Amino acid sequence: MGFKMGIVGLPNVGKSSLFNALTKTAAAQAANFPFCTIEPNVGEVAVPDSRLDKLAAIAASKQIIPTRMTFVDIAGLVKGASKGEGLGNQFLANIREVDAIAHVLRCFEDGDVTHVDGRVDPVADAETIETELMLADIESIEKRLQGLSRKVRGGDKDAVQQERLLKAALSALEEGAPARSVAIDAEDAKAWKSLQLLTTKPILFVCNVDEENASNGNAYSRKVEEMAASQGAGTVTISAQIEEEISQLEEDEAQMFLSEMGLDEAGLDRLIRAGYQLLELETYFTVGPKEARAWTIPQGTLAPQAAGVIHGDFERGFIRAETIAYDDFVTLNGEQAAKEAGKMRVEGKAYQVKDGDVLHFLFNA
- Domains of the chain, by residue range, sit at 4-278, 300-363
Compute the distance between CA of residue 80 and CA of residue 86 in angstroms, rounded to an integer: 8
Supply the pLDDT for residue 83: 57
Q: Kindly report the backbone phi and psi dihedral angles of residue 330, in degrees, each rounded to the nearest multiple of 5, phi listed first.
A: -75, -45
Overall average pLDDT of the 141-154 stretch: 92
Asked whether residue 171 carries a pLDDT value surpassing 70, the answer given is: yes
Asked whether residue 85 carries a pLDDT value surpassing 70, the answer given is: no
Percent of the chain with pLDDT over 90: 52
Supply the pLDDT for residue 260: 82
> CATH topology for 4-278?
Rossmann fold (3.40.50)
Overall average pLDDT of the 291-319 stretch: 95
314 burial (CB, 10 Å; 0-12 / 13-18 / 19+) is: buried
* CA neighbor of 218 nearest in space, from 108, 119, 104, 103: 108
Compute the distance between CA of residue 203 and CA of residue 100 in angstroms, rounded to an integer: 6
- 3-state helix, strand, coil split of the chain in percent (to 5) is 45, 20, 35
Q: What is the pTM of this model?
A: 0.81
Q: Please give the CATH number for the structural domain made up of 300-363.
A: 3.10.20.30
Q: Would you state the torsion angle of the CA atoms of residues 215, 221, 223, 228, taken in this order, to the nearest 10 degrees?
A: -100
Between 55 and 250, the more confident residue is 55
Asked whether residue 138 carries a pLDDT value surpassing 90, the answer given is: yes
> What element of type H or E holds 126?
helix 122-153
Kindly indicate the confidence band of residue 76, based on its pLDDT and cuts at 50, 70 and 90. low
Supply the pLDDT for residue 80: 58
Overall average pLDDT of the 263-287 stretch: 86
Supply the pLDDT for residue 126: 93
Number of neighbours of residue 362 by Cβ within 10 angstroms: 13
* CA neighbor of 336 nearest in space, from 351, 354, 324: 324
Q: What is the mean pLDDT of the chain?
A: 86
> Could you tell me where the beta strands, DSSP code E, fall in 244-317?
281-287, 291-298
Kindly indicate the confidence band of residue 27, based on its pLDDT and cuts at 50, 70 and 90. very low
Range picked from 7-21, 37-51, 102-116, 315-329 for highest mean pLDDT: 315-329
Q: At what angle do helices 88-96 and 122-153 cross, to 10 degrees?
A: 70
β pairing state of 291-298 and 281-287? antiparallel
Topology match between the domains 4-278 and 300-363:
no
Asked whether residue 28 carries a pLDDT value surpassing 50, the answer given is: no
Supply the pLDDT for residue 51: 96
Asked whether residue 2 carries a pLDDT value surpassing 80, the answer given is: no
Supply the pLDDT for residue 40: 56
Percent of the chain with pLDDT over 70: 88
Supply the pLDDT for residue 87: 45
Asked whether residue 33 carries a pLDDT value surpassing 90, the answer given is: no
Overall average pLDDT of the 134-155 stretch: 91
Asked whether residue 284 carries a pLDDT value surpassing 70, the answer given is: yes
Q: What residues form DSSP beta bridges with 346? A: 322
Asked whether residue 114 carries a pLDDT value surpassing 80, the answer given is: no
Supply the pLDDT for residue 9: 85
